[in-house]
Amino acid sequence: MTDPAFASPQTRVAALYRFAPIGESKLVLVRDRLQAVCDAYGVKGTLLVATEGLNGTIAGPEAGIEAVLGEIRALPGFADLDVKYAWTGEAPFLRMKVRIKREIVTMGQPDLDPARQAGVYVAPQDWNALIADPTTLVIDTRNDYEGEIGAFEGAVQPNTRSFRDFPDWFRTEGRALLDERKPQRVAMYCTGGIRCEKSTAFLKAEGVENVHHLEGGVLRYLEEVDPADSLWRGDCFVFDERVSVGHGLVRGEHTLCRGCRMPVDAAGRASPHFIEGVCCDRCRDTRDDAQRLRYAERQRQIELARRRGQVHLGRTDPA
C-alpha cells in the first residue's frame, strides 16, 4: 500500500525546538494532543516533550506541518518556537512518535535552565566575523561522526560519542583549552541550535561568562549564508533519511549504513566492505553472521517494497 502522506513529490520538513517550561501534569496531555494532530494530517517524524521544552523534526504536507506548528505555538511560552524548514522529494521519516522524556536533548545535567541561562545568540550573518576573530574559541558540540563529515574552519572537535559526554569533555580537555588559550569568548554550534544553546547554559554554570552560540545552528547558517562567503566545510549530518545537507539545505552525498546508523560517503560506498543495508567499513568487524543475515533480509524486504511502490518501515495497515 502506498502512503498518501508522502504521495506528493515535495514534502516539507520542519526542525524545531524551544526551551520553555511545561508542567509535569501537562506532559501527557501535550503528547497525546500532538500525536493526534500529526496522525490526522499525515505528518511523520519525532517530537520529544519534557518539562524543559519541546524538540523534534517532522515532515509531511505543508498544511499538516502548519497545523502541528500552530498547535505547538498555542502552548504557553511557545509562540517564539524556533523552526527551520526544508523541502525533500522523499519521505525522511516513516512513522510518527511523540515521546515524553526527562530532557529534550540529553546532557545529564538536570539543574540547567537554558530558557534563562543560555549564552548570547549570534545570527548567521554575524557568525563569520565572530569565529574568524583569533580571540574566539570555537567549539563543535555535536558528536564525532557529525564532525567528520563537516565543520566550521578552526573549530575544536571534542569527538564525543554522544551529547551526554560533553560535560565530562569540557571539565577535562575543554577547561584545559581555556587555560591554555585564554580566549576572550567561546562560540559554540550544533546542527539546529538546541545542543549549543544548552551547552552555553552549561558553560555559564561552570563559571565561563562570555559564551555565544549560533542562532538556528548550522542548518540556518547553510540556508542563509552565501556559499561564497561560507566558513563551513563539508556537509551537515541530519537525523533523518536525508542523512546530510549542504548549502541551501540541498541533500548531500551521504547515505546511512543500516548496520551502524553512521553516514557513508561515496568513497565509503565504493569500499569492498560496504554492503547496502548490512555494513560499512566502520562496523564490518563488529557484526556477527546472524546479524548480517538479519540485516540482509531486512534490506531484501525494503527493496521488494520499494519496487512495489510500498512503504516498508513504519507502515500502518488498516485494522
pLDDT tens for residues 230-251? 999 999 999 888 899 999 999 9
Across the range 265-292, mean pLDDT stands at: 94
311 pLDDT band (50/70/90 cuts)? low
- Can you give the residue ranges of every domain in the chain? 4-100, 114-236, 253-307
pLDDT > 90 in the chain, percent: 85
Across the range 95-115, mean pLDDT stands at: 94
Mean pLDDT of the chain: 92
Is the distance from CB of 44 to CB of 38 less than 8 angstroms?
yes
| Residue 190 is a catalytic residue | yes
The active-site residue out of 190, 196, 279, 280 is: 190
Residues near 148 by Cβ (< 8 Å), separated by ≥ 6?
A: 263
Across the range 187-204, mean pLDDT stands at: 97
pLDDT over threshold 70, residue 1: no
As a whole number of angstroms, the distance between CA 54 and CA 20 comes to 8
pLDDT > 70 in the chain, percent: 94
- pLDDT score, position 92: 85
Residue with cell 505543508: 62
Instruction: Write down the pTM of the prediction.
Output: 0.85
- Fold (CATH) for 4-100: Alpha-Beta Plaits (3.30.70)
Task: Tell me the CA distances in angstroms from 95 to 60, 86, 183, 314, one per residue in order.
Answer: 11, 19, 45, 5
- pLDDT score, position 33: 98
316 pLDDT band (50/70/90 cuts)? very low
CATH architecture of 114-236: 3-Layer(aba) Sandwich (3.40)
